Amino acid sequence: MPATKFICPTGQEVPIEKCLKSCVMKERCMFLPTLRAVANSLDRGLQEATVTKLLAGTRETYLKKTTDYAVDPQSALYALHGQAVHTINENFTNGEILSEIRLNDKITSGKFDLYGKIISNEDGVLGDLKVTSSYKLAKALGIYKVDVQTGEVYKTGAKKGQPKTRKEFRYDGVRHVWDWAVQLNYYRLLLEKSGFEVKRMYIQALCRDNSLRTASERGINKTIYIIPIYRISDHWLMRYFNKKASRLNYYLDRKKLPPPCSLKEKWNGRKCLDYCAVKEHCPQAKALKEVLKVGVYREAIS
């Protein structure tokens, strides 16, 4: 089931159709065309679980398919930014680059963003467009800070005699691109099954908060970064997605709630509290919220 309600600024849940027809408040929280775009982005009418849905927690995907849930239009605006970036690129492929084509196999389906001569004169390059935060981008680029001694020491205060240090960026850390890499590699697999050779893969990541000081403090000083993605074993990909799809279908067939999402899938609990659209239907998310009230949040998510 798609999202069926909007969460108003007042906290009231209103059916989307009713909201679009007539606002329950004196004035709308945003322009009507924007609300219509948000509503349109929530339901793509796909029956099967897509690559991106299978990458999410099985419980989250199950609840999105089996419950009516409400979304805050404000929280969906970043998704619209992503769609706008996709549309801009699609409008300038000039018929030479394949774009926004959905492929499927017996396990799932996926829509790749760009394929062809997208970064050089070399054909067969697969690209994916992301709109993301400076935090996630810094993680994806392997950026971190280290303390470097300046050669001076503190002459007064509690640190008297101790060496002074300054923060310096390093760019050789672990690149946290697992979800992007798995997604793009399965698109590669789908393309290759359809007879298209994929020679290289890249993510083009647009940083949505690059103009803020927090971005520069994380080592992010550009709006767009190109991130190479390397091949993952086809055998592993097939096993992983087959397992995720089989697990989801098992619980859907039995109308049984799946086990809680993994720590990675629920971002160590942060997603359960603030970012999961179906958290109001998840017993664990509700319990976590209650636990947080009594100050034992860290223990609950460990």
Please report, in tens digits, the pLDDT of each residue of the chain (302 residues total): 678 999 999 889 999 999 999 998 989 999 999 999 999 888 655 677 899 999 999 999 999 999 999 999 998 888 888 889 999 999 999 989 999 999 999 999 999 999 999 999 999 999 999 999 999 999 999 999 999 999 999 999 999 999 999 999 999 999 999 999 999 999 999 999 999 999 999 999 999 999 999 999 999 999 999 999 999 999 999 999 999 999 999 999 999 999 999 999 998 888 998 889 999 999 999 988 887 765 554 555 55
pLDDT computed for residue 297 by the predictor: 46
In angstroms, the CA 256 to CA 259 distance is 9
| Beta-carbon contacts of residue 6 (< 8 Å; ≥ 6 apart) | 13, 14, 15, 16, 19, 35, 39, 70, 71, 72, 73
Q: What six digits make up the tokens of 13?
A: 């849940």
Stated pTM of the model: 0.89
Cα end-to-end distance, the chain, whole Å:
31
123, 116 Cβ separation under 8 angstroms: yes
pLDDT computed for residue 206 by the predictor: 96
Q: What six digits make up the tokens of 21?
A: 């027809």
